[in-house]
Amino acid sequence: MAWILLLLLVAVVLGLIGAVAKGLIYLLVIGIVVFVAALALSAFRFRRTGRRPTR
């Protein structure tokens, strides 16, 4: 869970720097990619642990 939060924090920071700094739009794109990767990772982990067979 800590890795997902760290990835989300990095995505936000990169996105802010990319949006504010002139000529660094690639950081915004990298931030968006990291954000999507963090969401996909969290969805995969939630789906894997969400379904437990009842005994």
> Distance (Å, rounded) from C-alpha 55 to C-alpha 46?
21
- First vs last C-alpha separation in the chain: 27
User: pLDDT digits over 2-51, tens only?
Assistant: 777 888 888 888 888 888 887 888 888 888 888 888 888 888 877 666 56
Model pLDDT, residue 4: 75
Residue with tokens 């990772």: 41
Model pLDDT, residue 10: 84
> Distance (Å, rounded) from C-alpha 7 to C-alpha 38?
6
- What DSSP state is assigned to residue 8? H
Q: What pTM was computed for the model? A: 0.68
